[in-house]
Structure 1
């Protein structure tokens, strides 16, 4: 059944049509491709679909090296001034060097964790027997890059009967001049 207006109060950007509800049988052909990637797992109990959110890896390692280098330079400059003059530097340059060290260290740890910690796949699992949908999401906290509890994958659980699906189409420019 195709509706002219979306069922949800806030439809997805590029809304085209609503798909059948969880207890309705499909009455129309699926809108464009059903699955662009093969599922991770399919059996009688659950279906798991891949959902990659991180596409590039390795760039952060080089930026981390740069940030840690800046932190070392700031710290060595502060130590060299203290050893050369035998006293603490004036307040403004001393605070600037100390803040530069702290910011570079914090930024280096944050960039490292953003490159290394996220999983390659954050799947969505549809469990038929429990009638639940599990969405695995990676959470991070930029203000606490040293925390173990603020970073990691958490599962969000949704009831099967409360799901609504929409077909949408979003176009955006790509670097090669095409559209996605």
Structure 2
């Protein structure tokens, strides 16, 4: 019998639905990485672990292409007619735009954009960096807030050259239904299936106020090259997501 998701719109490359929050999990709870965990809230970083080296290479190659085009314009024998100028300035604009896109990603986009789980409020706070294909547009950070009861876990299995392994998504559904209204990544590619199961299990155990270990599997932080990529929670969200006040 063909396996089928219980959700009305499964994630792309769906492999399985994970157990619901209060159900028995597939593995004991185990964090992979954690920024903070206490009796009120827990913050998990989401480090993108694919394509990072390629971005630096693309940035360098695009910069070289821009320099070559600009130098070409200043060659004395370069034609000055409008068509010739357009044929050079257009590639310069395209290459430079792509260069700006790459620079914004490698220098300013937070690599470990986190998710916060507030056990007392039963809320999940997702820090999303709103990237656009248009590099000249502002890329703001957006905080999404969801009820834990509306979230269901999904696992994706990838077999790409630079991104192979298991990825965990959280599907946000309309209350009491399987109609997906939003979705966010809980963990980028994880090579070990048991680790992927353990992370989802840990979130479920934590939010259901069951015992969980506080020590993560990994304590190191992936390499970072700039002070510009800083996660800044708005003050009101910072206060709400880290306190238990306002409980119903």
Q: Same fold (TM over 0.5)?
A: yes
CA contact (8 A) 2:123 2:146 kept: yes
CA contact (8 A) 1:59 1:115 kept: no
CA contact (8 A) 2:62 2:96 kept: yes
CA contact (8 A) 2:63 2:96 kept: yes
Residue among 91, 114, 123 paired with 1:100: 91
CA contact (8 A) 2:18 2:155 kept: no
Tell me how far 1:46 sits from its aligned partner: 0.5
Bigger fraction of residues in strand: 2
Q: Provide the residue aligned with 1:124 in structure 2.
A: 115
CA contact (8 A) 2:19 2:26 kept: no
Q: Could you tell me which runs of 5 or more consecutive residues in structure 1 were left unpaired when the two chains were aligned.
A: 21-25
Tell me how far 1:103 sits from its aligned partner: 1.4
Counting only pairs closer than 5 Å after superposition, residues 42-121 of structure 1 correspond to structure 2 as 42-57=37-52, 59-81=54-76, 84=77, 89-121=80-112
Q: Which has the larger radius of gyration?
A: 1
Superposition TM-score, scaled by structure 1 size: 0.70
Q: Does 1:151 align with 2:139?
A: yes
Counting only pairs closer than 5 Å after superposition, residues 156-167 of structure 1 correspond to structure 2 as 156-161=144-149, 163-166=150-153
Aligned residues: 161
- Structure 1, residues 50-88: CA drift from partner, whole Å, max 9, x if none? 22235454543443233223222222322334xx57xx6
Output the aligned Cα RMSD. Answer: 3.1
Question: What's the secondary structure of 2:117's corresponding residue?
Answer: strand
CA contact (8 A) 2:6 2:17 kept: no
Between the aligned partners of 2:85 and 2:5, the Cα distance in structure 1 is: 60
Between the aligned partners of 1:90 and 1:47, the Cα distance in structure 2 is: 63
| Structure 1 residues 35 and 137: CA distance shift in structure 2, 3 A | farther
Q: Provide the residue aligned with 2:157 in structure 1.
A: 171
| Structure 1 residues 17 and 158: CA distance shift in structure 2, 3 A | closer
Tell me how far 1:92 sits from its aligned partner: 2.7
Between the aligned partners of 1:140 and 1:179, the Cα distance in structure 2 is: 24
Superposition TM-score, scaled by structure 2 size: 0.53
- Structure 1, residues 67-115: CA drift from partner, whole Å, max 9, x if none? 223222222322334xx57xx6233322111112111211111111122
| Structure 1 residues 33 and 89: CA distance shift in structure 2, 3 A | farther
Q: Provide the residue aligned with 2:35 in structure 1.
A: 40
Q: Provide the residue aligned with 1:23 in structure 2.
A: none
